[in-house]
Amino acid sequence: MENSEKEKQGFELLPISQEALGGQDTEEFYEVRRIWVKEEICWYYSVVDVVKLLTRSKNPGVYWSALKKRNRHDQGFTDILTQIKELPLRGKDGKLRGAEFVTREVMLRLVQNIPSERAEQVRRWLAQVGEEKLQEVEQQTQAEQLRDLYIRQGRTPEWADARIQNLLSRNALTDEWLARGAQQHLHFGLLTGTIHRGTFGITSDTHHHAVKKLPKSIKNARDHYTEEELGVLTLAELAARRMHEQNDSQGVPQLLQDAQAAGNFGGQVRQQFEALTGQPVVSSQNFLDQPKGRRKKKQLPLPEQETLFEATQEPDIDEK
């Protein structure tokens, strides 16, 4: 089914791999419909689809109806039924009909009430697919909060979008560095400085303190970049990440080689942009003249692990 058709019907089809069900060698194929309820920030899963997955029934709707009747005096099962939400789904005939959906937590409880050799695999699968979306929503929520904060500080929506995209790119790049053998406190500064110097033609220390006149106490120098500076650097860091992936670079020497190539590419992009616009990309502009109450960046609530926007800040270094 095409994505546009899924959107018309109002649900997402979630295929279940045989590996998730225990790796049986069979041609059986299952899909579970789920709907994202934005107001509650959670997925709702089709009860009938999960019943079919657990029981292999050819008529899961009938099985589900019988199960409800059989357990109508069971208080625990009755509690589950009270948490069912009826959501509209468009059928093959184009008509909307109500279908029963429950949250992941309720579905996990429901699985315990249906005899099945697949129960444990289905519970594990439900836990996995739910967590992925929650992480995505958490990141999106932080992005929206940060964008609103930047705009309240007097930045333009275009600048806020460019800054957030730079944060995303930067965090994805540092994830690659960690996975490929670089250590944050030993190597991130060198790798970042290499890309920076290649892209802008000056070291980060010169850029931040000699050109932009930022005090040493500034922790997030990129919050003082222009939209042009952010755009060019984001593209250069994306190039570095793609090179790491394509070359399967491992260890600092290979990562540094990729960083040098990405910096050279960023420098070419900058020079072409300057030739096209007639204006230099490197700018003395900063945001130090904001009202005092707005200078300090608001800290978002942090979970136990690093969030999307805990961007690793590079030190101002002048590489030899």
pLDDT digits (tens, 9 = 90+) for 53-67: 899 888 999 999 999
Percent composition of the chain: helix, strand, coil (DSSP 3-state, to 5): 55, 10, 35
Q: Which residues, at least 6 apart from 24, have a Cβ–Cβ distance to it below 8 Å?
A: 18
Distance of alpha carbon 225 from alpha carbon 281, whole angstroms:
10
Q: Which residues, at least 6 apart from 115, have a Cβ–Cβ distance to it below 8 Å?
A: none
Distance of alpha carbon 233 from alpha carbon 259, whole angstroms:
12
**pLDDT > 50? residue 98:** yes
The tokens of 211 are what? Answer: 């050109």
Q: What pLDDT score does 272 carry?
A: 97
The tokens of 206 are what? Answer: 């010169």
Domain boundaries defined on the chain: 3-132, 149-295
How confident is the model over 99-113, as a mean pLDDT? 88
Identify the band that residue 95 occupies on the pLDDT scale cut at 50, 70 and 90: confident
Instruction: With H, G, I as helix, E, B as strand and everything else as coil, classify residue 317.
Output: coil
The tokens of 178 are what? Answer: 């960690």
Q: What pLDDT score does 120 carry?
A: 83
How confident is the model over 140-162, as a mean pLDDT? 87
Identify the band that residue 135 occupies on the pLDDT scale cut at 50, 70 and 90: low
What percentage of the chain reaches a pLDDT higher than 90?
A: 43
Q: Output Rg (C-alpha) for the chain, integer angstroms.
A: 26
